[in-house]
Structure 1
Amino acid sequence: MTKLMLDRANKKIWGVCSGLAKWTGMDVTVIRVIFVLATLFGFGSALLIYVALGLILD
């Protein structure tokens, strides 16, 4: 596995989802749908995780 990083070439907002997709080997659309559903059904906790990853990752 590679290092978990933001993917600035394939980003929509910060590149967190595309970085996670590259790191896990999954499709970026699947990761984005998971984040949207988790934000809607998890009362925004996934949004906080997204912001934290955007600030922490390189």
Structure 2
Amino acid sequence: MNKLYRSRTDSKLTGLCGGLAAYFGIDSTIVRLAMVIGGVFSLGTVLMIYIIAAIVIPKEPGIEGFYKDNPYHY
């Protein structure tokens, strides 16, 4: 099962579009373009959803979690 995360590597602002693209298996440029077009035609509703999703959806796990939880790291 795939989990939805904000991307650390494919990030322009918050990594949300990169994470959505990885989750659905499509190109992140298409997701970013859809966000911009949706933001223009929805009069800002998509922008509010984007901000809420960027706060709620966690960043994908990275290497710092390994070092923080590893008791043998000096």
Q: CA RMSD in A?
A: 0.8
- 1:3-48 CA distances to partner (integer Å, 9 max, x unpaired)? 0000021100000000000000011000000000000010011101
Stretches of structure 2 lacking an aligned partner (at least 5 in a row) = 59-74
Structure showing greater radius of gyration is 2
How many residues matched? 58
Distance 2:25 2:53 in 1: 18
Q: Which residue of 1 aligns with 2:38?
A: 38
Question: Could you state the TM-score of these two structures normalised by the residue count of structure 1?
Answer: 0.95
Normalising by structure 2, report the TM-score. Answer: 0.75
Letter in 2 for 1:23: Y
Q: How does 1:1-58 map to 2 (within 5 A)?
A: 1-58=1-58
Structure 1: tracts of 5 or more residues without a match: none
